[in-house]
Chain A
Amino acid sequence: MCKRQKFRKIMTTPRKKFYLKQPSIIPGFGLSMGFTIFYLSIVVLIPLSMLFIKTAEINFSEFWATVTSPRVLHAYYITISCSLAAALVNVVFGLLTAWIIVRYDFPMKKIFDAMVDLPFALPTAVAGIALTSLYAPNGWIGKYLAQYDIQVAFRPAGIIIALIFVGLPFVVRTVQPVLEDMEREMEEAAASLGASRWQTFVYVVLPHIGPALLTGFAMAFARALGEYGSVIFIAGNLPKISEIVPLLIVIKLEQYDYTGATSIAVVMLLFSFVMIFIINLIQKFNYGKMSKQGI
């Protein structure tokens, strides 16, 4: 059957309800899909499964003992709380940044807009040493803060600042397109119905960009949880004070404590997956609500 006849047949037969793959005249599915699966297996699936296989080898009481030891628990607490704080700050200031870029005009706007992507393009190690030099007690900003007895370096505050740096683009770049596409007529309608600007913002704008804000928050939070390079320099890595989970994993590896490192990593991974799952659920719920309201 020549291609033309095959194409005609594909276009005229109704689509089957259950299918593994729709027929098509375009070649190369086997090759491209095969290579994709092969690549993913070698690079992602097999190594990730090693993580879980290794965990299965450890008996549960040893696993539990590692994961609940005081130093590890402190690391979890520090990592999660600092990531949360940084992500929340990023939501507020990220929204502000997106707002002024989309809604306002000011000199050098294009440069500031491009600047938002810098944390994304700059290697984490470079960001780490740069932030440390700024906030160390003799740094430009650290000196100024020391006058007020505020210490940033070697403290959770330093970690939070580093995490704010790496998470900012996620919030801004997720909210910006939604703000750009938003119809101003809705705000005009609210204003004409007597709403103040603040009311319009809270009841009209915020719900519209809510899902994007939430996505940006989730991405910034997830990134912050795993961040290593930009944090280890400014944190000082004092156990129980400013030691983050990724660092603890590296320390265990350097001591050849593979089971310890794996145990800690698995808990971290599971936590990230649960977070992402919850955020996805909330998003689905929000979209469902919005479509019911006919937006």
Chain B
Amino acid sequence: MKLINNIFTSRSSTTEAPIIRWAFTLLGLGFLTLVVAMPLIAVFFEAFRKGYDAYIAGITDPYAISAIKLTLLVAGIAVPLNVVFGIAASWAIAKFEFRGKHILITLIDMPFAVSPVISGLIYVLLFGIHSVLGAWLVAHGVQIIFAVPGLVIATVFVTFPFVARELIPLMQEQGTEEEEAAILLGATGWQTFIRITLPNIKWGLLYGVLLCNARAMGEFGAVSVVSGSIKGETTTIPLHVEILYNEYNFVAAFAVASILSILALVTLVLKRVLEIKTGVKGKH
């Protein structure tokens, strides 16, 4: 009798009764397992379905390797570009007072409001054969759509907010006193930046780079529109996964997908580490 009473009444005024807590916990964890954990487990399960050798064959296939190379190339260009942008934008926004800051911040958040497919579409409209610049580009032998530059700029569009959004609040919080003190003591702008600002923002910067990179390597929709998915030439890893899947080559598709999944897990772990370092929680 006492036990029944105990599980139905709560022990303090700000917590629920134990039975409710149990119910909520099980329901929540069940939901998380079903929705989040199972797909991840399924990737690895399917990848190894035909055994270890089939898995290795899937990820060492020449097309897969060129997809990996291309993904690394595109991310290797897009992420540093976005880092430079992020630093420039947050320097301008955090260290100065000017009109129109809100508009600038809204513009920086724009890619989050736009569907990835539309993100790719706008570049096809700008650089494609039938577009305004199209004729000029063809005449000069420059190909953007269906080639690497198109992949890069589409990836840049989708990922540039990440670094900026990390740095702007961080630098705003840090204020301008340290930089002003340095300038007053005779430092040049660059010296101030490298010796004062950069060390202060280094963990936030790493965090932004981490998120930016994860998104850059995994981007699908925008890149799919812009690349034409020409096997071996313009397929990044996610596009390659799609091609394999559509060819019913499931084991290979999941094998390549597992590479991205491992990347995602590494990203999550590093994210945790950086969150502890910066004392920041749950921001994205």
Q: Which residues of A contact B (CB under 8 A)?
A: 3-4, 7, 19-22, 24-29, 31-33, 35-36, 39-40, 43-48, 50-51, 54, 93, 96-97, 99-100, 103-104, 106, 112, 114-127, 129-131, 133-134, 139-141, 161, 164-165, 168-169, 173, 176-177, 180, 184, 187-188, 191-192, 197, 219, 222-223, 225-229, 233, 245-247, 249-250, 253, 256, 258, 261-262, 265, 268-269, 272-273, 276
CB neighbours of B271 from chain A (8 A): 114, 117, 121
Q: CB distance B95 to A121 under 8 Å?
A: no
Q: CA A69 – CA B91 in complex, angstroms?
A: 48
CB neighbours of A233 from chain B (8 A): 245
Q: Which residues of B contact A (CB under 8 A)?
A: 10, 13-17, 20-21, 24-25, 27-29, 31-32, 34-40, 42-43, 46, 84-85, 87-89, 91-92, 95-99, 104, 107-108, 110-118, 121-126, 128, 130-132, 153, 156-157, 160, 176, 179-180, 183-184, 186, 188-189, 192-193, 214, 217-221, 224-225, 237-239, 241-242, 245, 250, 253-254, 257, 260-261, 264-265, 267-269, 271-272, 281-284
Q: CB distance B121 to A122 under 8 Å?
A: no
Q: CB distance B218 to A123 under 8 Å?
A: yes
Q: CA A119 – CA B37 in complex, angstroms?
A: 10
CB neighbours of B34 from chain A (8 A): 141
CB neighbours of A50 from chain B (8 A): 122, 125-126, 131-132
Q: CA A207 – CA B100 in complex, angstroms?
A: 32
CB neighbours of A176 from chain B (8 A): 281-282
Q: CA A227 – CA B116 in complex, angstroms?
A: 7
Q: CB distance A99 to B24 under 8 Å?
A: yes
Q: CB distance A122 to B282 under 8 Å?
A: no
CB neighbours of A54 from chain B (8 A): 125
Q: CA A258 – CA B91 in complex, angstroms?
A: 39
Partner of A258, one of B28, B97, B130, B242: B130
Q: CB distance A228 to B14 under 8 Å?
A: no
Given A47-B157, A228-B116, A258-B130, CB of A125 within 8 Å of CB of B242: yes
CB neighbours of B283 from chain A (8 A): 173
Given A29-B92, A226-B116, CB of A118 within 8 Å of CB of B184: no
